[in-house]
Structures are given as structure tokens and as C-alpha cells.
Amino acid sequence: MSNREKLRDLLLEVLLLTDEEFSYDLNRAQVETWDSLAVVAIAAGVDETFGYHLTPDQAVGITGVKDIITVLEREGISFADA
Amino acid sequence: MHEQWERRWDLDQLKSSKLDAPYIIASNSVRSIVSKQLPWAFIDLGAIPLGAKTLVVVGGGNLIDRVKVLRKNDWPALKVVAIPSIWGSGAEVSPVAVMNGHIKDIQFSEDLIPDRYVIWPELARGASFDLLRFACGDVYAHALEAFTSPLATPQIRREAATLMNEIAEYPIGFDDRWFDASAAACLLQARSSVGLIHGFAHVLEPKLRASDLAGKWGHAKLCSAFLLPVLRFDLSASSRVKNLAAEFGLDLEKVLATAHALFMPDAYSAAMAEAERNWEGIARDRCSRTNCVLVRRDSIDFFRRFRASGVPI
């Protein structure tokens, strides 16, 4: 499974989305379930899935799926299509 | 030194205090011993005299929380002195109040914190071993989930690790040091968050209370039942807890040994039958969502395997 797919599965789980509702362009404002608790759960899930622990500033600064990818790519985790 | 220690009294300090128009609200289990030590009149929660200015509430976490909420909503000028009859909930120091109903209503406000709390260890001396054991599990669950919380600061983790290393040396059963440990653990989790142990406890308690009266289900019993399984789940899903333990000097072997000592296979098995029916709610509970490891739809499989194994994995 590619890192893009892993991230999608993680966000489907945390944000209670269906496959159809998900896109890599999603941002917090578009997703009702992307609340403060989801931010915490995303941080835990990113750590578990990618082995990188988001700093508190990074976690609260994330405004959309692309931001998560940007942060992780800076840490050397590739999101290029497999 | 934390602010809560400034609010702490022992029984002698309470007796020599000059409380303004005090009345006592006490649970039946401690009424006799309280009446021998304190001279003030007993009243019921629903019949507070207009002239009352101080309520001394003596009992378990549920009673203390009800008084805290009553004061906040209807009697904001009242002073509240909270005296826990057993350790565990930390309600006597906490800005959180948990109201029991068909579902748990969790309230958080600085206005809920009692003005004073009193450590009176004799109140717990007559409690059954089971109750004392559950209370120890409750303290441990608060400290552990504060330590592992994604919202915990390094300072909270240092304090939680120190506390857990210390209470690992306490006997499971009566020991008056548990009261102060309970207050400290409760404040640690109030400054961070709780996790999946509390997700299980909050969702299952009202269900089990309704369906299994003989089981005497309560928050502390459920925390004790799920402490070891959730710790094992967290350890199995990620190296996070292990890394944090190494970083902050938490003796994980001691923590696991204590969790094993507190584990009750029969209670866990009975609670899991209800958990199977309520997994969606448990996984989405606000406490579970701040667990240190992500709780997924299929995470129930781990807890099924744990149950089927009959003994801790």
C-alpha cells in the first residue's frame, strides 16, 4: 500500500468519511468531523502509520490533507504515486 | 507545588476551621463515622437550607460531582468542602464532573473545583477489598492515560511517570497514601486528557448498570478491568508508549506488573460482551479519540483476542 493510500485510510477512519467523500483536496472547513479531537487522533494515527510524531504546532496548523502531506514530505516520507 | 495542595486539609484542620453556616451531605455508608467527628447538621442534596453557606460533602465521586454541579448551576455563592470516602475519582480536586444518566454527561469548568478538600483515610478503612482494588485501578488509569495522552506536555509526563513509579510500590488495598496519589493523578489527566480506558468505562457503565445490577458496575471497576488490555493494545499498535517510558523514566515493567495485578478476567469478559454491542460508540467516544494510539473500527479484534486468550497476552 502506498503512503497516499495509507493516509487516505487513516483519514477515512478518523473523520468517518466514505471513499466517495474523501479527496486529497479536502480541508478542515469542509469536514464537520474534523474537530479538535480529530486533530489529536490524526496526530496519533500519523505517528502509528508513518512513525513521525507531529509537534503540537504542526498538528494544530494543519488545515487540510495537503498540509499533512507537506509536513510528512519534509520529514522524508514520500507521497509520490507508487 | 501545585495549587491543589493549598486547598488540602486533614481532618483536624477541618474540625478546627471556622466554616460559615456549614451543612453536611454524606453518603449512607459513611454517615455514622462522619456524625461522630463533625458537629454540623446533615441535609439531603435536594433540601439545602436558604441560610447554608458551606456544604461539606462526604462520599464517592458521584455524590461529590453532583454537589459540584448543583453549586455551579444553582448555588454559586456556596463554599464546597469535598471529602472523598475512597480514593480513585479525584472528584475532590477536579474541574470535571461526570453525571450519570443513560449516557455520561461530562462537564468541565474551573467553577466545579471544590474550595477545599479533606483527606480522611479512616473513611476507606472499612471498604471491601474489591472496592479498594477498583479504586487503585482508577488512580492508575488516570495516571497512565495522562502520561500517554497526545495532549500531555513534557512536564505532565515527568510528573505522571514519577507518580506511577511511586504508586507501583503501594499495596493494592488500603493505604492512606492512595488518597494523595488519586488527587495528583486526577489533576494530571485534567491537564491533558484520558484515553481508551475511559472510552470503554464511560460508554459501558450506564449500559452495564442497567443490564447487570448484581455486577455492581462502576467507573473504577471498569477502569480496572480495561487497564491491562488497553495498555497491551497501545503497546501492540505503536512504539509510542515504550519510547515515552524510556524518555521520561517510567518503569514500564512495574506498570505492567501492576496492571496484571489489577486485571480481573471475569469482569473483563463480562464487560466485553457489552463492548461488542457498543463498539462504534466506544471507538468514537471523545475519550477514545484522545487515546495515544488511534482507535480504529477493527481495533475491537485485539480486545476479542485478549478475551479469548483467557489470560493476558
Q: Is the residue at A79 inside a domain? A: no
CATH class name, domain B129-309: mainly alpha
**Nearest CB to B238 within list A38, A40, A47:** A47
**Residue B151: predicted pLDDT:** 87
**Residue B2: predicted pLDDT:** 59
Of the candidates A74, A49, A80, A51, the residue with the CA atom closest to the CA atom of residue A62 = A74
Q: Is the residue at A46 inside a domain? A: yes
Q: Is the residue at A37 inside a domain? A: yes
**Residue B1: predicted pLDDT:** 45
Note whether A60 contacts B: Cβ–Cβ < 8 A: no
Distance CA B119, CA B87 (A): 9
Contacts of A41 in chain B (CB under 8 A): 289-291, 294-295
Where are the domains positioned within chain B? 3-125, 129-309
**Residue A16: predicted pLDDT:** 87
Range of the domain at A60: 3-74
The three three-digit cell numbers of residue A22, written as one number:
474523501
**Nearest CB to B240 within list A14, A40, A47:** A47
Distance CA B287, CA B307 (A): 22
User: What's the rounded mean pLDDT across residues A16-32?
Assistant: 92
Q: What is the least distance, in Å, from the CA of B53 to any CA of chain A? A: 39
**Nearest CB to A41 within list B237, B240, B294:** B294
The three three-digit cell numbers of residue A35, written as one number:
474537530
Distance CA B241, CA B235 (A): 6
Which CATH fold topology does B3-125 show? Rossmann fold (3.40.50)
pLDDT beneath 70: ranges in chain B: 1-4, 101-104, 310-313
CATH of the domain at A17: 1.10.1200.10
Q: Is the residue at A81 inside a domain? A: no
What are the tens digits of pLDDT across the range A31-82?
Answer: 988 988 899 899 989 998 999 988 888 988 999 999 999 999 999 999 986 5
- Rounded to two decimals, the ipTM of the complex is 0.72
Sign of CA dihedral A60, A61, A65, A67: negative
**Residue B311: predicted pLDDT:** 55
Q: How many domains does chain A have?
A: 1
Residue written as grid cell 464517592? B60
What's the pTM value of the predicted model, to 2 decimals? Answer: 0.87
Q: What is the least distance, in Å, from the CA of A57 to any CA of chain B? A: 12
Distance CA B189, CA B172 (A): 21
